[in-house]
Amino acid sequence: MKSIRLSGSFLDSYDRLSVRERSRVRRKLDKFAIDEKGSGFSLHDLDRTDCDSSFKSARISDDLRLILAQHGNEYIFLYVGHHDDAYNWAAGKYLDRNSFGAVYIKDNVRLIEAKEAVLRHKEPDWLPEQPGLLEKREISRKVLEKLGIESDIAETLLEIKDEDTFLDFIENLPAELAEGLIDLAYGTKSITELYNELSDENIRPDSTFDELLNQKDSKRRFYLVEDIEELRYILNENSDRWKLFLHPRQSALIGRDFNGPVLVEGGPGTGKTVVGIHRAVHLARELGEEGRILFCTFSRKLASYIQVKVNELKEQKQAPDIIEVEGVDRLINRLLNTYNLTDKMVNPDRLKELMEETYVELNLEEEFDFYETEYNEVIQRYNIRSLAEYLNVTRSGRKKRFSAESRKKAWEFFARLLEKKEENNLIDFEDRAHILYQAIEERIVEPIYDSIIVDEAQDLSPCKLKILAGLVKREKNGLFLLSDKNQRIFRMESWRKDTGINITGWTIVTL
């Protein structure tokens, strides 16, 4: 198959076609991918349209046209639509590259419109003496030009004084430059930090166009199709963009080898789960049919969602079926049953009744809710079974300070509750975790996975994390933890202390 890349603009336009039109496009492109000459259409230069000289059109049907760029044997699908619509889309567009070698589609028409919008907005809203957003940070035109921003665009950027106009304008720039300008405007990065982040060590002054398309930020916009089967899958399934276009930080994590457990942190919406799914499929392709991978998370509902996404990407990438997706409590329950490790019952309602009975029996200082959460977040989390252990525990994440004297009084409640649990042959989910971990420690349960990826790791107790670490057979690419840094109660150094996991790689994802 010839080298074919798909742009986001092509996929957007393809999705807007009718079912019948998409079918026609699929049949034509399938033939084209295999044999251009036998595809039934020829490529034509867009001589009458002001656009990049590499742009060409291809006839799909009487009314449908494909716009693509050709560089040797490299074909970039850019747009597909009805005749006039396709040619109108191409007008004013060019394949350009920024100072760091990243290729992007430059839209001169939109840039002119955006500059005119800034000029219209200048008066009377902006006072002459009011500095622009970038000027406040002492960002000059020379600095912006160093980032590859053209002089007239730089001048326009320096004039902008309000956030809304600034954000609207930078939407017309490549995503990595838009993100960088936001960092400069709000002072979250220096120009040196941004320049280093945008640079790609693999790009040289004499890099070929094919190498430029493989630049880390180029791949955010142009996806290289691996083979004819993947092209068919993408066009048949209307692939979600997360399967194709990745942020450079995501790509780096997905394909990197780690010689020990790694922790990837980021807030909500930073793409951690996407990284985990791609990582699982990447490792599956490396390991082959004999490997075994677990993608684990804290809830069954989230596991069901991830299972669907893993299956989709696995099919697209033709990866072997070796990825298991499971909620951590279900995993623990399965292994306990497989090895016949306990016959005690889990009954949350009965446990709540025992808590309430014990609270009524004793004359306690705190409200009932305090003892319930203290039991879950301290006693069970750290498997506390004696007053001495309770007096020494750090109670990480608990906002209320608790003196030694208060702990001694509270221990009456916990000691009595633990007795009642034993009398009623009752355990909870955390008890089950401790039973399984002991079996792993005693080698009753052996490591069974080549790699384990853990999503929302901040929601798992230390014991459950230790179980997952104990089920991994190897150090290299073994344990991959994805955590929300805003919700994690542990400090970085406490992961080793509380879980016994020696984090060798620590990456904060800030997409």
| Backbone φ and ψ of 106, nearest 5° | -90, 125
Is residue 451 domain-resident? yes
* Secondary structure (DSSP) of 252-292: HHHH---SS-EEEE--TTSSHHHHHHHHHHHHHHHH-TT--
Is residue 441 domain-resident? no
CA distance 375 to 369: 10
Do residues 73 and 32 touch, judged by C-beta distance below 8 A? no
Is residue 438 domain-resident? no
Same domain membership, residue 253 and residue 182? no
Query: Considering 373, 389, 424, which residue would you say is the last residue of a domain?
Result: 424
* Secondary structure (DSSP) of 349-364: HHHHHHHHHHHHHS--
Is residue 391 domain-resident? yes
Same domain membership, residue 463 and residue 419? no
Is residue 437 domain-resident? no
Same domain membership, residue 255 and residue 319? yes
CA distance 281 to 285: 6
Q: Is 28 exposed, middle or buried (0-12, 13-18, 19+ CB in 10 A)?
A: buried
Same domain membership, residue 418 and residue 357? yes
- Dihedral (CA of 207, 210, 213, 215) sign: negative
Structure tokens at 466: 């230790």
In three-state form (DSSP H/G/I as H, E/B as E, the rest C), the secondary structure along 207-255 is CCHHHHHCCCCHHHCEEECCCHHHHHHHHHHCCCHHHCCCCHHHHHHHH
pTM: 0.89
- Residue 511 has what pLDDT? 42
Same domain membership, residue 468 and residue 385? no
Full residue range of the structural domain in which residue 108 is found = 103-199
Same domain membership, residue 13 and residue 53? yes
Is residue 429 domain-resident? no
Written as one letter, the residue type at 471 is L
Written as one letter, the residue type at 171 is E
Cα 89–chain centre separation: 31
User: What CATH number does the domain containing 292 carry?
Assistant: 3.40.50.300
CA distance 427 to 207: 63
Same domain membership, residue 333 and residue 358? no
**Helix or strand run (H / E) with residue 136:** none
Same domain membership, residue 457 and residue 397? no
The total number of structural domains that make up the chain: 4
CA distance 469 to 442: 15
- Dihedral (CA of 486, 487, 489, 490) sign: negative
Residue with tokens 């979600």: 240
Q: Strand order in 262-265's β-sheet?
A: 323-327, 293-297, 451-454, 479-483, 262-265, 505-508
**Residue 492 DSSP class:** T
- Residue 491 has what pLDDT? 46
Is residue 167 domain-resident? yes
Is residue 117 domain-resident? yes
CB burial of 249-268 (b: ≥16 within 10 Å; e: otherwise) equals bbbebbeeebeebbbbbbee
Do residues 403 and 454 touch, judged by C-beta distance below 8 A? no
Same domain membership, residue 388 and residue 412? yes
- Residue 2 has what pLDDT? 83
Q: pLDDT tens per residue, the chain (511 residues)?
A: 789 999 999 999 999 999 999 999 999 999 898 875 555 668 999 988 899 999 999 999 999 999 999 999 899 999 999 999 999 999 999 999 999 999 999 999 999 999 988 877 665 566 666 788 998 899 999 999 989 899 999 999 998 988 989 999 999 999 999 999 999 999 999 999 999 999 999 999 999 999 999 999 999 999 999 999 999 999 997 678 999 999 999 999 999 999 989 989 888 888 999 999 999 999 999 999 999 999 999 989 999 999 999 999 999 999 999 999 999 999 999 999 999 999 998 999 999 999 999 999 998 888 999 999 999 989 998 899 999 999 998 886 676 778 899 899 999 999 999 999 999 999 999 999 999 999 999 999 999 999 999 999 988 988 999 999 999 999 999 999 999 866 654 444 455 667 777 776 655 544 4
Same domain membership, residue 352 and residue 327? no
Query: Considering 391, 424, 457, which residue would you say is the last residue of a domain?
Result: 424
- Residue 320 has what pLDDT? 98
Query: Considering 424, 459, 477, which residue would you say is the last residue of a domain?
Result: 424
**Cβ neighbours of 471 (radius 10 Å):** 21
Q: Strand 93-97 to strand 103-107: parallel, antiparallel, or no bridges (unpaired)?
A: antiparallel
Same domain membership, residue 252 and residue 318? yes
Same domain membership, residue 466 and residue 394? no
Residue with tokens 């990197």: 256
**Helix or strand run (H / E) with residue 384:** none
